Amino acid sequence: MSGCFGVGGGILCTPLIRIFLDIDPHVAVGTTMALIIPTSIAGAYNYLKRKQVDQVMASKLAPTAVLGTIAGAAATQYVEGQVLMLLFALLVCVAGIDLSFSIGDNLKKQRERETVPEAITSPETCTSPETSTTEPSAPSATRADEGPSSQGIGPFVVGLAAGVFAGFFGVGGGFLMVPCLLYFYRFGVKAAFGTSLVVIAAVAIPGTLSHFALLHVNVALAVLMIAGSIPGSLMGSALALKLKDSFLRRGFGIIMLIMSVVLAMRELLPATPF
């Protein structure tokens, strides 16, 4: 499903293993964070190769994101398991609404439409044929020192918030970072994804280690899920290429909404057969 719908493994696997395997809530969160390590590193590598990463912004987001991730992971031990899962059900519900109504997708398309004219009319892209073939590909990633990414304490705050979010819920944090990069810092869509993935790769290992130190990681289960996620992602990607994108996103959004309701019922009504 991650390969098919382009969502992180944590937001899907946590409710699934809680519902079907009856894993302890804290262990469910900590174990699924391990899934983020291989996927984020692979994704970040691809974006770095294509020069779709604003390294200045990433260097500002990452340090506070790492601190936030450790703090978020530590905070889970002070939250009762049922409350943690109910909060996670709310997160899944929000993600389901976003996918069902294509809110984030529409915003990204709007940002793409705004970025294209900028790339066409930019002096760097109009001075000569040589520059026009090289500069437009990643304007937000290659000109970080000239943009808002180098101004103020905003990036540090965004990184800290995304890190706390990632550590607490065992997800990547891109749920917060990508919209912030798109609309507060006027990034192009690809540069926003690439920069976010680099930061997620930076926080995935310390986040997993923090949960491991708190005994929130089932190592055997994590290894099995990582092994299953690799062929699953390939299969999902192949399926996604054959089906209409809007159908996929809405279908998965509905699945997420149903899953959030089932997870909430599972916590509120333990006697229910879920």
pLDDT in the model for residue 235: 78
Q: d(Cα 188, Cα 141) in Å, to the nearest integer?
A: 8
Spell out where the chain has E strands.
none
Spacing of C-alpha 137 from chain mean position: 23
C-beta separation of 29 from 211 below 8 A: yes
Domain count, the chain: 1
Residue stretches of the chain with pLDDT short of 50: 119-150
The DSSP code for 76 is G
Is residue 77 situated within a structural domain?
Answer: yes
Q: What is the pLDDT of residue 267?
A: 87
The pLDDT, as a whole number, for residue 151 is: 61
State residue 206's pLDDT score. 93
Tell whether 273 is covered by a domain: no
Q: Write down the pLDDT at residue 106.
A: 67
Name the nearest CA neighbour of 95 among 227, 209, 219, 254.
254
pLDDT in tens, 162-207: 999 889 998 888 878 888 888 788 888 788 888 988 998 899 899 9
121 in a domain, yes or no? yes
Burial 23-45 (b: 16+ CB within 10 A, else e): bebbbbbbbbbbbbbbbbbebbe
- Most distant CA pair in the chain: distance in Å? 70
Task: List b or e across 143-176, with b for residues whose CB sees 16 or more CB atoms inside 10 angstroms.
Answer: bbeebebeeeeebeebbbbbbbbbbbbbbbbbbb
As a whole number of angstroms, the distance between CA 132 and CA 111 comes to 21
- Residue (of 97, 99, 142, 103) closest to 119 by Cα position: 142
Q: Let me know if residue 274 belongs to a domain.
A: no
**Cα torsion for 111, 114, 116, 117, to the nearest 10°?**
180
Q: pLDDT at position 180, please?
A: 85
Q: Are 57 and 155 in contact (CB under 8 A)?
A: yes
pLDDT tens digits along 45-57: 878 888 888 999 9
What are the two backbone dihedrals, phi and then psi, of residue 101, each rounded to the nearest 5 degrees?
-105, 5
pTM of the model: 0.71
What's the rounded Cα separation, in Å, for the pair 265 and 92? 14
| Helix and strand element counts for the chain (H, E) | 15, 0
Q: In terms of residue numbers, what domain contains 133? A: 2-268
Is 187 buried (19+), middle (13-18) or exposed (0-12) by CB count in 10 A? buried
